[in-house]
């Protein structure tokens, strides 16, 4: 029996709403999962994202295994208990972070240096699974090879081959019945390679399927072609997870193709620098024109930040380097994105997704609001 089951509740063309059931609870899809890299979303507490309505929060295996260490997290009751988070958790394998460090990779695994102290470490598909079993998230991801784009065909094909082999080894290693294991599809922007990877990964019968290696340098149009090719060959009764994508235009386009869940650091990364996501597009709240504005960040938003604080006040906080400024805009951006996913769920249920997609793209597909 699989640790995650997906039940479709509504559909409009390829876009679908549903409920994914894990060992510890359910989450509605399409859903957005905020990223708590080191066990917390930067500047926020678990109480904050509980209040904002998040259902799943990510942790990063690479960082958590280095500090405080996977065994420490296990001894503290697992990632959720450790962080005081009552919702669901997902850990990525750490592969994306590792491959951004130009590591030494071979057919067996990957060796890399710690970003904290320079010490050498090694990941294999097996050790990545065992580490994440100690971290104890509800969902863990297999270790994959994430090549940058653009890359040569040889690099993409080798990454696909290793990802496929590593996925089988991870599946054979995973033993926790209360923890789901998701495979990952690679293949660059080549539709044929994406189809090949999706077929191989689907045949291994994972609990769900991540689609990785996108939004790493290609255009949105190239991403969507590759994404559609992969989804065509993934099972309908398992969640589909587009990894590392969170800008509104890409979210709605991916949902339109049948993606169920997403994660991204963009919401908090741009929030820390004063850029807010609003119903009218991106807004740089540090601009002088907002110095005496009594409007909230977004007049259409009902998040706790917009209910209480003005643009003028938040701009002042940025001007005096008050850390609360980054916290407030980060909270708003996460709330905005979670609400956007709710809008998509509702629209699919009502048969109005095509209309919502059109209105969102009118705001977000322009050059000023391209992927961050």
Residues taking part in catalysis: 92, 263
The beta-strand segments (E) located in the chain are 5-12, 15-21, 26-29, 31-34, 56-60, 88-92, 104-105, 110-113, 120-123, 139-141, 180-185, 208-211, 240-242, 261-264, 275-278, 281-284
CA distance 153 to 118: 32
Q: How many CB atoms lie within 10 A of CB 322?
A: 13
Helices 191-203 and 220-231, axial angle in degrees (round to 10): 40
Q: How do beta strands 5-12 and 15-21 pair?
A: antiparallel
Structure tokens at 222: 């190239």
Q: What is the DSSP string of 274-328?
A: TEEEETTEEEETTSGGGTT--S-S-TT--SHHHHH--HHHHHHHHHTT-THHHHH
User: Cα separation of 143 and 200, whole Å?
Assistant: 15
Alpha-carbon distance 284 to 370, whole Å?
A: 15
Q: 104-108: long-range contacts at Cβ-Cβ below 8 A with a sequence spacing of 24 or more?
A: 105/145, 105/162, 107/162, 107/165
């Amino acid at each position: 029996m699989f640790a995650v089951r997906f039940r479709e509740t509504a559909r409009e063309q390829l876009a679908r709403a549903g409920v994914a059931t894990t060992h510890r609870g359910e989450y509605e899809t399409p859903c957005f999962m905020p990223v708590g890299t080191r066990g917390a979303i930067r500047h926020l507490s678990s109480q904050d994202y509980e209040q904002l309505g998040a259902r799943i929060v990510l942790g990063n295996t690479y960082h958590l295994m280095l500090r405080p260490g996977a065994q420490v997290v296990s001894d503290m009751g697992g990632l959720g208990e450790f962080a005081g988070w009552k919702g669901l958790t997902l850990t990525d394998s750490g592969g994306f972070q590792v491959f951004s460090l130009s590591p030494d990779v071979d057919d067996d695994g990957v060796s890399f240096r710690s970003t904290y102290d320079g010490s050498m470490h090694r990941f294999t598909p097996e050790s990545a699974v065992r580490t994440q079993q100690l971290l104890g998230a509800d969902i863990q991801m297999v270790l994959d090879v994430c090549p940058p784009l653009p890359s040569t065909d040889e690099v993409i094909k080798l990454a696909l081959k290793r990802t496929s082999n590593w996925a089988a080894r991870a599946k054979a290693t995973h033993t926790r019945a209360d923890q789901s294991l998701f495979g990952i599809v690679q293949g660059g922007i080549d539709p044929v390679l994406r189809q090949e990877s999706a077929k191989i990964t689907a045949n291994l019968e994972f609990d769900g399927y991540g689609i990785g290696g996108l939004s790493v340098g290609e255009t949105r149009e190239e991403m969507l072609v590759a994404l559609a090719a992969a989804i065509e060959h993934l099972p309908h009764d398992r969640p589909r997870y587009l990894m590392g994508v969170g800008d509104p235009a890409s979210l709605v386009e991916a949902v339109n193709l049948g993606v169920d869940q997403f994660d991204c650091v963009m919401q908090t990364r741009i929030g820390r620098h004063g850029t807010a996501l609003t119903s009218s597009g991106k807004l740089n709240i540090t601009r002088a024109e907002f110095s005496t504005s009594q409007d909230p960040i977004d007049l259409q938003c009902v998040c706790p930040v917009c209910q209480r604080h003005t643009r003028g006040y938040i701009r002042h906080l940025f001007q005096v380097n008050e850390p609360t400024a980054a916290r407030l805009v980060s909270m708003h951006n996460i709330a905005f994105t979670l609400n956007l996913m709710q809008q998509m769920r509702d629209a699919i249920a009502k048969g109005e997704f095509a209309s919502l997609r059109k209105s969102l793209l009118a705001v977000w597909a322009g050059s000023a609001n391209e992927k961050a």
